[in-house]
Chains A and B, each alone.
Chain A
Amino acid sequence: MTVKHADLAEKFIADEPRTDWHDDTLWFVREKRDKAAHGLPEWEQLREWASQIKNNTLSNLSNYLKEFEEKAAANGIKVHWASDAKEHNEIIYEIILKHGIQKIVKSKSMLTEECHLNEFLQHQGIEVVDTDLGERIVQFRKEPPSHIVLPAIHLKKEDVSATFHEHLKTEKGNNDPQYLTEAARQHLRNKFVESQLAITGVNFAIAETGGFVVCTNEGNADMGAHTAPVHIACMGFEKLIPKADHLSVFLRLLARSATGQPITTYSSHFQKPRPDQEMHIVIVDNGRSKQLGREDFRNSLKCIRCAACFNTCPVYRRSGGHSYHTAVAGPIGSILNPNLDMKANADLPFASTLCGSCSNVCPVKINIHEQLWKWRQVIVEEGYVAASKKISMKGMSFVFSNPKIYRLLGKTGRKVIHFFPFMVNNKLNPWFKQREMPSAPKDSFHDWYLKNRKN
């Protein structure tokens, strides 16, 4: 049986000071985002434009994809199509075999996480070095990223120090961030120099030009792509935008939404391979066509992976990314992952209070909380719900459809709570574990009304 969000969250929260720290850290990022957004009077207009551009893209996707393939090929980029994670991994493996590649560096790409590329290549005896600092930290620890923009946000500097001491022989107990970062820098520098292949993600692919843009704060995508003789960029097909003009809308929204920066430190434009360099793009479906066909959920594909919905989510901040047991966590993950595996991810749309903050911060206006509600309906309809829940819901439905029974049960229930409080105040009642039950009045409002307003 797979572990569920609620259980993993409970484990995370067991360390309350650490939970508070996690919550405060991400709230700090959310506040930075607010400040940056307030700096642009046209913020809400930008969101609307971004949303409409993505709607247009998704509605005409096949044409834009063909246009992109044609232009990219004309620029000398080799374009590959992968229908699922397996094909994506095999395409990359073939390129590796063809060139006899041993040394690989990879900058952040949530798609390769989604496809479990590292594990796949490891099975073939090939090691990939993640070069994003946060990703390198979690890679050393054999953990998945807990956040799509801040992969090691669940870790404190003390944890990083211990990890680096083990893997990079840094001084034990030296928690100085500058010292630790310098150690990672020296370590990664060698990996870049040795690399024969650089794998990167894609933030935006432009149909009109056949070029693509990769955004990083550390410049690690560039370090890899500029040294290695082969560059493979991996993208989910929804990363497309129609025109180069549209980029400005997204680049202004992306970093402000993600971290509150006006723009990512490096927004690198790749147009064609250098002389003697090979450049590949792997365009991946992996369930996206299916999601595109689900009318209620298709616009989840507008996502630009800024993680603003993570940072604002009161549940995510207090349960940590690993509680979502998927590559993409947080609210957006909870509407994307049921499409990939409904049974394994049936708990995720329920890991939300439906507060709606996610939809409000989303720079491309995905109605995330409404889709969470809709996924709940689909999951129940498809039968991925506990039998006990189904029975209690059926009972509730019967009671609320029959006013007399509702009133009778209400009265009985209140009497039970009043006279036999131990019936509800016990450990079988999850409400009572950390909360008192409301006190049960003798009269309901209905009773009061009959006595006081109906003569």
Chain B
Amino acid sequence: MKVALFIPCYIDQFYPKVGIATLQLLEKLGCDVSFPLEQTCCGQPMANSGFAALSKGCDINFIKNFSGFDYIVAPSGSCVLHVKEHLSNEEDGIEASQIRNSIYELTEFLTDILKVKSIPASFPHKVGLHNSCHGQRGLNLSSMTERMLPEFSKPEQLLKLVAGIELKKAKRNDECCGFGGTFCVFEEAVSVKMGKDRVKEHEDNEVDYITGGDTSCLMHLEGILKRQGSKIKTIHIAEILNRVL
């Protein structure tokens, strides 16, 4: 199975450890993983700001890098959702549509494609899971409190396979953290207030770590935690699943 690894731009630049953990985890689980070297960004920052028309160059570069793989996997629900919903090429739509249909967020790739039943990981800490909206509501990675449908959670299903982990559920389990892309700077006050409220709930649970499938949300929460001088750390779910004692 030929898997291409998509590492979103801000992970590439600021959180290489998340990319490394994702790569090592996929290799550990038997995937033949390539990292197309000329990849940059999915185009979401422009599109969500109303400039989807400016993301064409980005789309073409993305298609150039990611055509011809069985699967494309990324450790970010948000970027994957953007590609799934908006990647396009006016001149040749076939490759774009193949990519849209073969791109997966890491946890759904593990549960749905690799059908992982056990993971040789250990993480003896109290952990709170932050459900990122685009992964949850956009990619349907877990059930949502608004909908009256059976409960499930792909990231939780995986975390439960990790030895020693103690999962603590936040009171408002699927409330947005307030990152929201450029929202985090253009609506700074609301963004930070939302983040502080998320952090507070995890603090009440006395967790050691907040984890999640989107580094963007975690970066925002980390910024608040650090400013507050909190002991709680953030960690991407790939880093936990790849952690061995």
Contacts and interface: CB of A to CB of B under 8 A. Distances in A.
Interface of A: 5-6, 9-10, 13, 16, 19, 23, 27, 34, 37-38, 40-41, 43-44, 312, 314-315, 318-319, 349-357, 359-361, 373, 376-377, 379-381, 385, 389-390, 393-394, 396-403, 406, 410, 413-414, 430-431, 433-441, 443-450, 453
A123 B188 CA distance: 40
Interface of B is mostly: helix
B144 A360 contact: yes
Given A37-B148, A360-B146, A393 B51 contact: yes
A446 B222 contact: no
28 contacts: A13-B190, A23-B197, A27-B172, A34-B145, A34-B146, A37-B148, A44-B149, A314-B194, A315-B190, A318-B194, A350-B49, A350-B183, A351-B190, A355-B133, A356-B138, A360-B144, A380-B53, A397-B46, A406-B40, A414-B14, A430-B186, A436-B222, A436-B227, A440-B13, A441-B15, A448-B19, A449-B19, A453-B35
Contacts of B180: 352-355
B58 A400 contact: yes
A10 B189 contact: yes
A445 B144 CA distance: 33
A10 B194 CA distance: 12
A357 B210 CA distance: 22
Given A13-B193, A397-B54, A397-B55, A5 B187 contact: yes
Q: How large is the interface on B (under 10, 10 to 19, 20 to 34, 35 or more residues)?
A: 35 or more
A438 B190 CA distance: 20
Given A350-B186, A351-B187, A376-B48, A435 B192 contact: yes
Interface in B128-157: 133-134, 137-138, 144-149
A414 B133 CA distance: 28
Contacts of A447: 16
A5 B186 CA distance: 10
Nearest to A385: B50
A356 B35 CA distance: 31
B178 interface: yes
B113 interface: no
Contacts of B146: 34, 312, 357, 360-361
Interface of B: 7, 9, 11-17, 19-20, 23, 35, 37-41, 43, 45-55, 57-58, 60-61, 133-134, 137-138, 144-149, 172, 174-176, 178-181, 183-195, 197, 219-220, 222-224, 226-227
B31 to A, nearest CB: 14
B190 A9 contact: yes
B54 A393 contact: yes
B43 A400 contact: yes
A430 B137 CA distance: 28
